[in-house]
Structure 1
Amino acid sequence: MGKRNPEFVRLGEKDRSCITSNCSVVKEYSVDLAIKHPDYFFQFPVHKNDVAILKLNVDVEYNEFIKPICIIVDEEVNLADINQIQAFGWGITQAHKKKASDTLKTINLQLQSPLECLRSVQVNSTDEQFCARSPTGGDTCYGDSGGPVAGNYMYEGQSRYVQMGIVSFGSLSCNKSAIYTNVTSHRNWILTVLQTHGRQLLLGLETFPGVN
């Protein structure tokens, strides 16, 4: 998470080269408050409790292009039940490139054992994190941090597309296993923030889905 709090978020955006005034589907909202996890810790390369919630100035108006994503706070939800997940972000697409992507990108990921992340980033993942990588090579990279990680999950007999994680950190080469914040392990904190601050919230400093 950056040192500066964001002043606004843009929802419905898929191409950052299109300015708001020319993109009718993009809506901009001011950020009233950035609520960082009280136990956030960073000492390179380690991030712990790498999660924040943004309180917006008004309720988000949902439409065809701006929709919420579910976060299931049931304690019975198990991330290990998901075979494949997707990460989204605006980061660089190759480690040697310096320019971030103008268009929103996604990559398929599969869960890995904590040992895989210990090998790739020399960091032991905690219960508040999970390890994942792309089965076809590549990975999330610089500029993707804060982006959502989501997947289909069977809940109460229905397949639901839910947010399970947030991009946190990985290897310098961007082609190995990386560590992601486990959203489900922060369910109690998320519920506390909801009860305290209301529903004008977004999860993650750079994450666009809202909390259902």
Structure 2
Amino acid sequence: MIGKSNSSSKYDRPNCNVTGAGYFPVTEEDLNPDRIVGGMYARRNQFPFMAVVHRLLGRGMISQCGGTIISHRWVLTAGHCVADQPRQFLVVFGDIDKSRVGYNFYQGPGTSMMTDSGFLHPHFSPTINDVGLLYMPRDIPFGEAIQPIHLAGKDDTYESFNGRMGTVIGWGKDRSKSTGTRRLKYATIPIISNSKCSMTWGITSNKHICTAAGYKKDACQGDSGGPLIVLEDGVPVQIGIVSYGDASCPSSKPGVFSRVTGYIDWIQEATGIRF
């Protein structure tokens, strides 16, 4: 992976306004951790902010990630999902079933776009500043199945979220030796303190957030770039981006996420959006 952005990281895209945010058919019951063992399959429209992010490597090969819609033109993902070349991506919105996604095409009820506009945090490394953005060539069509996520903002800067339940969502592996799930899955896991997480991983307090190990559910390969969310007054709010963890799934080590509030200034500068 590379550790700096190239010329495509110039912030010369037009400003985008978040509209249509706020409709999410998700309830506390949906995210009840007592009902989740190793993750559950999502219902259609349950997480309308989710995006499939496939980086096209050539010869039919892909690098698989997830992402979240944050405006009509922007998708938030992990830095390591956009760091390497080639920067050509197939991004799919409004579907929970990846069996309809091909190498460079999509045949399903949602919407797909190709983009080569990947933006990488200028101080990216695999374990810190692991944040990236994708700019879409046209507006993402919002509707019942496609909606932007609310991001944690400056008011949440000093919120640790320690002890709260966070939900991670993605199409990654559902066990270490699998190739990934075709249907979108989610799991709800306790969020732990950064001091506890630091016993396993060397993390930076304002740049990371971690989920507990030992619950037989966590993010795995292919989930990178997807969200960690909490509910605020019934509305999903993204507080983390899947970054790294142990290769074993489920793991005996905490899962590590890029903390959204640690990068909100960069996201605003890159996109022109104010959160």
Q: Report TM bin, short chain.
A: 0.7 to 0.9
Task: Please report the RMSD computed on the Cα atoms of aligned residues, expressed in angstroms.
Answer: 2.4
Alpha-carbon spacing, 1:72–1:118, altered in 2? closer, same or farther (3 Å): closer
Counterpart of 2:123 in structure 1: which amino acid?
Answer: D
Alpha-carbon spacing, 1:172–1:93, altered in 2? closer, same or farther (3 Å): same
Separation in 1 of the partners of 2:208 and 2:196? 13
SS of the residue corresponding to residue 235 of structure 2 reads strand
Separation in 2 of the partners of 1:104 and 1:192? 31
SS of the residue corresponding to residue 193 of structure 1 reads helix
Shift of 1:8: 2.5
Shift of 1:75: 3.6
Within 5 Å, give how 1:108-187 maps onto structure 2.
108-120=188-200, 122-133=201-212, 136-153=215-232, 158-174=233-249, 175=251, 176-187=253-264
Check conservation: 2:130, 2:243, Cα contact below 8 A.
yes
Separation in 2 of the partners of 1:55 and 1:178? 27
Check conservation: 2:161, 2:191, Cα contact below 8 A.
no
Is the counterpart of residue 12 in structure 1 residue 97 in structure 2? no
Shift of 1:37: 0.5
Is the counterpart of residue 94 in structure 1 residue 175 in structure 2? yes
Shift of 1:73: 2.5
SS of the residue corresponding to residue 134 of structure 2 reads strand
Separation in 1 of the partners of 2:181 and 2:218? 14
Check conservation: 1:79, 1:164, Cα contact below 8 A.
no
Counterpart of 2:108 in structure 1: which amino acid?
Answer: C
Check conservation: 1:107, 1:134, Cα contact below 8 A.
no
Shift of 1:9: 0.5
Shift of 1:168: 0.5
| Runs of at least 5 residues in structure 1 that lack an aligned partner in the other structure | 200-210
Between the aligned residues of both structures, percent identity stands at 25
Separation in 2 of the partners of 1:56 and 1:40? 22
Q: Which residue of 1 aligns with 2:108?
A: 23
| Runs of at least 5 residues in structure 2 that lack an aligned partner in the other structure | 1-79
Shift of 1:126: 4.0
Which stretch shifts more, 10-19 or 158-167? Answer: 158-167
Separation in 1 of the partners of 2:271 and 2:145? 24
Check conservation: 1:117, 1:125, Cα contact below 8 A.
no
Once the two structures are superposed, residues 77-112 of structure 1 have per-residue CA deviations (whole angstroms, 9 ceiling, x without a partner) of 5442471111111111112x2311111111112211
Shift of 1:147: 0.9
Check conservation: 1:125, 1:131, Cα contact below 8 A.
no
Q: How many residues align?
A: 187
Alpha-carbon spacing, 1:92–1:21, altered in 2? closer, same or farther (3 Å): closer
Separation in 2 of the partners of 1:49 and 1:136? 27
Separation in 2 of the partners of 1:178 and 1:69? 21
TM-score, length basis structure 2: 0.61
TM-score, length basis structure 1: 0.78
Separation in 2 of the partners of 1:13 and 1:142? 20
